[in-house]
Amino acid sequence: MKILKDDEAIRRIKCAKGVAVLTGAGISAESGIPIFRGEEGLWTKMSPEEMASFEAFYHNTAIVSEWYQHRRDIIDKSEPNSGHKALKMLEGLVGDFSLITQNIDGLHQRAGSGSVIELHGNIMENYCIKCNQQYSPQEFDEIYQQNPEHIPRCYCGGLIRPNVVWFGEQLPVECIENAYQAAINSDIFLVVGTSAYVAPASDLPRLAKQNGSYLIEINPNKTAISHIVDLRLEGSSGVVLPLLVDDFKEIMLENKQFTR
């Protein structure tokens, strides 16, 4: 074992049929994508209402669009890190696996993870709020450049916006329902790189624990749920996750040999 020393954790992994993971900004920060909270977070430099609300987008289209383009440029230049890749490996080890993320950068998909539950949307996607026509970032920019002072409009006349959940908006019903179900069904629930302050995502670890799941937190700092987790692994996800997944693999292989 490289990182797991807790006998109960090892026992629970041996018995686990379902694993769910919740990731936050911390895992993407290791790929060079700025976080929103914390001492160096974006929200310490600007108000969320200035850039991340429909009102801001409607009244300050040029500024908000340029800010989103800047963030897309950062994401385009970023690559999935060892933490993202470790979760892809874990997905291949577990029969029932769910990956829930608060991030909007798509790095989990680029690492090869499938069926990612994106609670807050994906910044690389855009859609018409009237007919739901989808637009790539390139298509959005082309339309925007034609009239940069106004919100881009679809051929149907509807407004085109980034596919992200802004402040004051509800999370997609299907996504949050799938996330709740994954938490309830999990035997092991990993909380990775999130401060766990923002509901309803912050409710998921608690819901998992209430339904008997073994709660493991990976974070360099203590969070809002550190006092309720069953096991806290202090450190960055890029370092801790590969070690943890190696232990998962070893435990599961040993268990399969033992139960033959």
Residues with Cβ < 8 Å from 245, sequence gap 6 or more? 86, 87, 89, 90, 93
Residues with Cβ < 8 Å from 244, sequence gap 6 or more? 3, 4, 86, 216, 218, 233
User: CA angle, 138 as apex, 81 and 103 as ends, to 5°?
Assistant: 35
Q: Which two tokens stand for residue 56?
A: 């801001």
Q: Specify whether 120 is catalytic.
A: yes
Order of strands across the sheet that contains 96-101? 117-118, 96-101, 18-23, 188-192, 214-219, 231-234
In the three-class reduction of DSSP (H, G, I as helix; E, B as strand; rest coil), residue 138 is classed as helix
> Of 108, 120, 150, 227, which is the active-site residue?
120
Beta strand 214-219 pairing with 188-192: parallel
Catalytic residues, which ones? 120
